[in-house]
Chains A and B, each alone.
Chain A
Amino acid sequence: GENVEQHPSTLSVQEGDSAVIKCTYSDSASNYFPWYKQELGKRPQLIIDIRSNVGEKKDQRIAVTLNKTAKHFSLHITETQPEDSAVYFCAASFFGNEKLTFGTGTRLTIIP
């Protein structure tokens, strides 16, 4: 089955700087890659996703890049703000297969 590895497990960034979280996956058939943000005590919420026919997708300060050859994808947050502090999870699945495999999460802390 699919295996998703996520790094780093913790990340501290000065407010205003950029943050990058990286994930690798094992199943070359995977073609759907969402990212979830989970604030303390809250539910995970979808913030951005990318499909394998696209190499990059951007939504305001958040962007995701995908390298299918290397089987890795990354989340980029620019101009970080205190409200970006949360745990971020990457995930992967084969489109048409509903089952998502999640990474182990990255705890991002924005230092004011």
Chain B
Amino acid sequence: DAGVIQSPRHEVTEMGQEVTLRCKPISGHNSLFWYRQTMMRGLELLIYFNNNVPIDDSGMPEDRFSAKMPNASFSTLKIQPSEPRDSAVYFCASMEMPSGYTFGSGTRLTVV
């Protein structure tokens, strides 16, 4: 298995632009998580899905952030409009109980 695949690896965008991050979980994993990592706040859970259904989105910072999981093999995290404070590394992870999370390589987002 290729693991959790995220794209793009790096994204530089101007403030106000829309950003879409993509994730392909490991086949057969039924839970998918989006995390944001910054030096100041560490690893923050934004949202997670179980069997493609959003279970907990309490970590989504505000309405500018949205996430979808249209099928078991694909998820997106969208920021519209983006702001400089959104700059961070965004990780996607998937899991099948009883194992722990497998993280993707992350997307380093820079909003200028």
Which A residues have a C-beta under 8 Å from some C-beta of B? 34, 36, 42-46, 49, 89, 95-96, 98-105
Cα-based distance from A31 to B98 in the complex (angstroms):
12
Q: B13 contacts which chain A residues (CB < 8 A)?
A: none
User: How many pairs of residues, A versus B, come closer than 8 Å at their CB atoms?
Assistant: 47
Report how many residues on chain B are interfacial, defined by Cβ distance under 8 Å.
21
Cα-based distance from A89 to B33 in the complex (angstroms):
17
> Which stretch from B17-25, B43-51, B63-71, B80-88 is at the chain A interface?
B43-51
Does B101 make an interface contact (CB < 8 A)? yes
Choice from A42, A46, A102 contacting B43 with Cβ under 8 Å: A102
Whether A43 and B43, one on each chain, are in contact in the complex, defined by CB atoms closer than 8 angstroms, is no
Whether B104 and A43, one on each chain, are in contact in the complex, defined by CB atoms closer than 8 angstroms, is yes
Smallest CB–CB gap between B46 and chain A, Å? 12
Which B residues have a C-beta under 8 Å from some C-beta of A? 31, 33, 42-43, 45, 48, 50, 55-56, 91, 95, 97-106
Whether A100 and B42, one on each chain, are in contact in the complex, defined by CB atoms closer than 8 angstroms, is no
Whose C-beta in chain A lies nearest to the C-beta of B105? A43
Whether B31 and A89, one on each chain, are in contact in the complex, defined by CB atoms closer than 8 angstroms, is no
Whether B97 and A45, one on each chain, are in contact in the complex, defined by CB atoms closer than 8 angstroms, is no
User: Could you write out 12 A-B pairs with CB less than 8 Å apart?
Assistant: A34-B100, A34-B101, A42-B105, A43-B91, A44-B103, A46-B101, A89-B42, A98-B31, A98-B48, A98-B55, A101-B45, A102-B43
